[in-house]
Amino acid sequence: MSKIAEVKTHPVSIPLEHTLWTAHEELKDSSVILVEVRTDDGIAGYGQIHGSPQKAICDWVARFGELIRGMEATASVAVWERLFALTSPRPGGMGGRDGVPPPLPRGARPQVMAAIAGIDIALWDIRGKSAGLPVYRLLGAEKRPIFTYATGGYYRLGAPDGVYADELASFAAAGFRAVKLKTGGGTVADEARRVRAVRERIGGSVSLMLDMNAPYDLADCIAFAHAVEPLDIFWLEEPLHWYLQPADFVKLAAATRIPLAHGERELTRFTVRDFIASGAIRYVQFDATRYGGFTEALRVAALAEQHGVMIAPHTAPELHAHLVAAFPRSSFGVESHGDAARDPVAHGLFRERVEVRDSHVHIGDRPGFGMEIDWEFAKRHRA
Strands of 4-21's sheet in order across = 4-21, 26-39, 44-49
Gap between the Cα atoms of 370 and 347, Å rounded: 15
Half-sphere exposure of 28 (CA within 13 A, CB side): 1
Q: Which residues of 148-178 are buried (b: 16+ CB within 10 A; e: fewer)?
A: bbbbbbbbeeeeebeebbebbbbbbeeebbb
At 338, the pLDDT band (50, 70, 90 cuts) reads confident
What domains, with CATH codes, occur in the chain? 4-132 (3.30.390.10), 138-380 (3.20.20.120)
The least confident of 78-87, 89-98, 158-167, 256-265 is: 89-98
Burial class (CB in 10 A: 0-12, 13-18, 19+), 260: buried
User: CA distances (Å), 342 to each of 28, 319, 337, in order?
Assistant: 10, 19, 7
Residue 258, pLDDT score: 98
Position 217 confidence tier, pLDDT thresholds 50, 70, 90: very high
The reported pLDDT for the residue numbered 77 is 97
In the predicted structure, residue 339 carries a pLDDT above the cut 90: no
3-state secondary structure of 209: strand
Q: 219-245: per-residue pLDDT in tens?
A: 999 999 999 999 999 999 999 999 999
| Mean pLDDT across 45-73 | 98
What's the mean pLDDT in 329-352? 93
Determine what percent of the chain is predicted with pLDDT higher than 90.
97
d(CA 310, CA 187): 30
Asked if the model's pLDDT at residue 125 lies above 90, the reply is yes
* Mean pLDDT along residues 47-69: 98
Over residues 315-330, the mean pLDDT reads 97
Q: For 69-94, how does the pLDDT look when each residue is reduced to its tens digit (9 = 90+)? A: 999 999 999 999 999 999 999 999 99
- For residues 294 and 267, what is the distance between their CA atoms, to the nearest angstrom? 13
Q: How far apart are CA 44 and CA 302, in angstroms?
A: 28
pLDDT confidence of residue 341 = 86
Taking residue 204's Cβ as centre, other Cβ atoms within 10 Å add up to 10
CA 220 – CA 108 distance, rounded (Å):
32
Q: What is the DSSP string of 260-286?
A: EEE-TT-SSHHHHHHHHHHT--SEE--
| Amino acid 353: pLDDT | 87
Confidence of residue 28 (pLDDT cuts 50, 70, 90): very high
